[in-house]
Chain A
């Protein structure tokens, strides 16, 4: 395991459908983050896990969004009843708590297109 992996890399769905993305962090990392990035912008924070506990959620994360990290390893991000405004790149990052400066390492992202 050399880095953060995300699946799928691309997802095209119709408005109103549910989608689920998966993130596998670097194996020894106990912190996991989800960010969303729209074209021409920097990533925006969505939510954060330390081990299996979800410790913070952004106001950007509406009730249609839910994230889990059931065993403190991989994480899933589900979007229910997708809207066209959900189209974006969803990025996952991981870091090691106590490593000092919270350097985060990102996966390749999942590009979501809602038609």
Chain B
């Protein structure tokens, strides 16, 4: 069974601060996706990383895939209240997994004005 450990579980910061969320596994993933979810809504895809060592930037968000494709991180620069939400990492194992995603537990981010 593949597991994704996401940390921290909760983050409460002030506007303008930087933060990093980590997603770790002992398993290799073909790709890893990051989602953001608002209360009462479904997850919204932010980015997919597929190559070991890959770095992708989305405005103030920087996503990195570990060299061994077992871990990933999300870094937010100068956080804003609009960044508040649940951040989820999800791994796709490929092969016979039929495309199902394995999700981490999520990180609840609160950015205070």
> Measuring CB to CB, which residues of chain A are less than 8 angstroms from any residue of chain B?
4, 6, 31, 33, 35, 40-45, 48, 50, 55-56, 91, 93, 95, 97, 100-109, 111
- A-chain residues with CB within 8 Å of residue B44 when the two chains form the complex: 106
Chain B 1-43: CB-based contact to A (< 8 A → 1; otherwise 0): 0001010000000000000000000000011010100001111
Are A42 and B106 in contact (CB-based, < 8 A)?
yes
Interface size, chain B (Cβ < 8 Å) = 27
Are B99 and A48 in contact (CB-based, < 8 A)?
yes
Does B80 make an interface contact (CB < 8 A)? no
- B-chain residues with CB within 8 Å of residue A56 when the two chains form the complex: 98, 100
A55 partner, pick from B88, B98, B106, beta carbons under 8 A: B98
- B-chain residues with CB within 8 Å of residue A95 when the two chains form the complex: 99
Residue of chain B at shortest CB distance from A107:
B42
